[in-house]
Each structure stands twice: as C-alpha cells, then as structure tokens.
Amino acid sequence: MLVTGGAGYIGSHTVVTLIEKGYTPIIIDDFRNANQDVIERLSKITGEEIIYFNVACQDSFRLKGVFGQFPIEGVIHFAADKAVGESVEKPLKYFENNFGGLTSILELVQEFEVKNFVFSSSCTVYGDPEVIPVTEESPVSYNSPYGFTKKVCEEMIEQFVASCPIVKATLLRYFNPVGAHESGLIGEEPDGKPNNLLPFITQTAAGVRKELTVFGDDYDTPDGTCIRDYIHVVDLAEAHVAALENAMNSTENLMVFNVGTGKGSSVLEMIKTFEEETGIELPYKIGPRREGDIKEIYANTDKVNQTLNWESRKTINEAIATSWKFEKYIRELRK
Ligand SMILES: NC(=O)c1ccc[n+]([C@@H]2O[C@H](COP(=O)([O-])OP(=O)(O)OC[C@H]3O[C@@H](n4cnc5c(N)ncnc54)[C@H](O)[C@@H]3O)[C@@H](O)[C@H]2O)c1
C-alpha cells in the first residue's frame, strides 16, 4: 500500500495500522510538514523496517521508479497542505500542492493500473451546514481556499474514475482528528502555532504557550463555544484499512464516507476534560470569534458504520491522555 504523506499526523498512524493488519506500507513524503525521525519512531512501534521515499508527489519521474519497483495494490493519498488560515493568505501554494500532487499521483495510478485509491477529504466540504448532523448527501461548499481544494479534488477523482473504471476510489471525509498512538511516540506535531484545539491545549499545559484563547463564547450552543466531532486518530487510521478492504469487494467505483464519532463536543468541554484527565489547570481566556469558524458540526455516521462495518471506539479521554503523553515525549526529544 503506497501511503503519500505517510510521515504526517494521520498518515503515520495509518502506517502502524496497515502493518498491524499485515500490509506493507510504502511511504512517500517529502517531509515538508514532518520530521524525518518519525520513520525511526514508526520502526520502534511496529518492530519493522519502514520503507520510505523522500520525494514529492509532484516528482513524477522519481515516483515512477517507486511504482515500478513494487506491486502496489492501493494508494492512500494523505499528502496535502492543510492550514485553513495559511490557505487564505497563499491560495496558489494550496492549488499547486493539493491539485498538483493529486494529479501526478492519479497519472501513476492509471499508468500502473492500481485498483484501489483512498483520498483524505474533510468535513470542511460541508461549509457551514444548515442541518446537522451532516450526512454524505448534505450540500457541499467551501469557505476557504483549503476547503475549495478538498471539494475540487473530490470532483477530480469523480471524473477520473469515470474515465478509468478499473480504479475504485473512496473519499473519506474526516471530522476533527485528535489523540495519538498509545505508545506516545507519534502524534500531532504542528510546525509553529497550532491551528487545532488539542495541540494548543497540550502545548499550553507544557508551558510552550502562555495561555489558550477560546475563540468566542457567544455562539448559539449550550455553553456558547463551538462544537466539533473529535475522532481519535487511531480509529481514523482503522477506517482507512476498512475502506481499502471494502473497495476490494465492492462493485462501486466511487464511495464517500463521513468518518467521525457522531457526537459533538464544545471547546469548553474539551478544556474541562483535559483538566480532569491530567489534573492540570489550563490558563485560558475568552477571545473574539475567529474568522471562518462555524458554530457547530458533527457527523451522521450511519453509512460508514453499516457499509465499512467500522465505528469509532476510543473516547475523548483516551485521545486527551495519549496526546498529553505524546506532547511530553516530543518536548523531551526536541530539547
Ligand atoms: N488533521 C486534520 O485536522 C485533517 C482534517 C481533515 C482532513 N485532513 C487531511 O488529511 C490529510 C493528512 O493530514 P495530516 O493532519 O496528517 O497532515 P500532515 O501535514 O501531518 O501530513 C501530511 C504529510 O504530507 C506531506 N506532504 C505534503 N505535501 C506533500 C507533497 N507534495 N509530496 C510529498 N509529501 C507531501 C507532509 O510532509 C506531511 O508529512 C491532508 O490531506 C489533510 O488535508 C486533515
């Protein structure tokens, strides 16, 4: 299984799950948003030598060599730029990487007749939904260049499989991935200021950040703060293997699934759970709303539960405990 972006946050956890399930992952990553030492840590967790290539998805010439070297049964395409705020400032960077990377990988999928393709999409394609929970049939839109790339990439894949029916594609729309591997050796390590809540919480608790700002407490929600569907990254990793195995036995050549828990948690609930789980009091203040944030979103997971026979099993407490374990580990490592 070729895993683009396999050194990143979700990709690295998926590599572990693939190995546990008996597959041989081949990582393609140019380490633009990952540290090369993750490979060693993946070896430590799995006890296996990790096959990886330090190459960009756009480098078709070198990638052709990789596709030619191994009998590739499936591709999971994680590699992309993903920061919503940055995408507003630098949309062309997002177009070049997210469209360019996908195009070049699909060309090779076609040339080498790879039958199975899984794409990292996002609940961002639902924009600011009027009806929640969102189903796979909910209207799609976007409110940032990043969201635009996810929506267009989904459409690119749809048109591609229509022209190349040998390929079965699965679009996984992730909700908010959180947590880390139970070993605490891999997790989310943002470059600079985190965009996501949990790394911000753990960095604040570790003293890297002075305090946490809650962006608005005047939303129309029970405690006034935004609500998201936080999915444990290890559960999410397992959904990828379930998607690959489902596609191997399916006659459909394009499938779309929400991957979430089906439950919403507010920002203040996350802070409270962190404090309960770790016994650490978090310094936080209420700030103004952040531009682009929507009030509330969580998934209807009926389709993924039934079709992929997959459901989230891990709790938010487990996600918080493992993230905190990883934060402490990575602080020591980077000293
Ligand atoms: N983390 C989230 O909150 C979230 C939510 C929904 C969807 N997603 C999507 O899931 C995917 C993985 O996200 P993540 O959180 O693991 O991000 P990440 O940045 O940790 O991982 C992406 C990896 O891809 C690599 N990469 C990027 N562009 C590349 C290229 N052109 N060639 C080779 N390698 C390249 C990076 O070095 C990194 O290791 C992305 O497509 C992202 O848009 C993430």
User: Under DSSP, is residue 105 helix (H, G, I), strand (E, B) or coil?
Assistant: helix
Does ligand 1 come within 6 angstroms of the Cβ of 57? yes
Neighbouring CB atoms inside 10 A of 47's CB total: 7
Q: What is the distance in A from the centroid of ligand 1 to the CA of 105?
A: 15
pLDDT in the model for residue 291: 86
CA distance 306 to 216: 36
Mean per-residue pLDDT pooled into runs of 10, the chain (335 residues):
98 98 98 97 98 98 98 98 94 98 98 98 96 98 95 98 96 98 97 93 96 97 98 98 96 97 98 98 96 94 98 98 98 93
Structure tokens at 57: 């998805």
**Which of ligand 1's atoms lies nearest the C-alpha of 79?**
24
Q: Domain span at residue 21?
A: 2-175+232-259
pLDDT in the model for residue 112: 98
- Structural domain includes residue 105: yes
The sign of the CA dihedral 94, 98, 99, 101 is positive
Buried b (16+ CB within 10 A) or exposed e, 272-308: ebbbebbeeebebeeeeeeeeebebbbbbbebbeeeb
Structure tokens at 234: 């290890």
**Total structural domains in the chain?**
1
Q: Identify the CA nearest to 160 among candidates 109, 124, 97, 112.
A: 109
- Structural domain includes residue 218: no
Site to probe by mutation for ligand 1, drawn from 17, 29, 297 as the one with most ligand atoms within 8 Å of Cβ, is 29
Q: What is Dmax (Cα atoms) for the chain?
A: 56
- Structural domain includes residue 250: yes
Q: Residue 257 in contact with residue 175, Cβ under 8 Å? A: no
| CB contact set of 298 (below 8 Å; sequence gap of 6+) | 132, 133, 134, 175, 227, 228, 229, 260, 261, 262, 263, 264
What torsion, rounded to 10 degrees, do the Cα atoms 225, 231, 232, 233 define? -120
- Structural domain includes residue 101: yes
Does ligand 1 come within 6 angstroms of the Cβ of 187? no
Question: What residue's CA is closest to ligand 1, atom 29?
Answer: 79
Whichever domain contains 247, its CATH number is 3.40.50.720
**What separation, in Å, do the N-terminal and C-terminal C-alpha atoms of the chain show?**
34
Write down the H helix ranges in 128-177.
145-163
Does ligand 1 come within 6 angstroms of the Cβ of 161? no
Is residue 142 part of the annotated active site? The answer reads no
Q: What is the distance in A from the centroid of ligand 1 to the CA of 280?
A: 30
Does ligand 1 come within 6 angstroms of the Cβ of 7? yes
- Structural domain includes residue 208: no
- Structural domain includes residue 248: yes
- Structural domain includes residue 316: no
CA distance 64 to 107: 10
Question: What residue's CA is closest to ligand 1, atom 10?
Answer: 120
What torsion, rounded to 10 degrees, do the Cα atoms 107, 110, 111, 114 define? 120
The residue with tokens 């996600």 is 319
- Structural domain includes residue 299: no
User: Under DSSP, is residue 26 helix (H, G, I), strand (E, B) or coil?
Assistant: strand
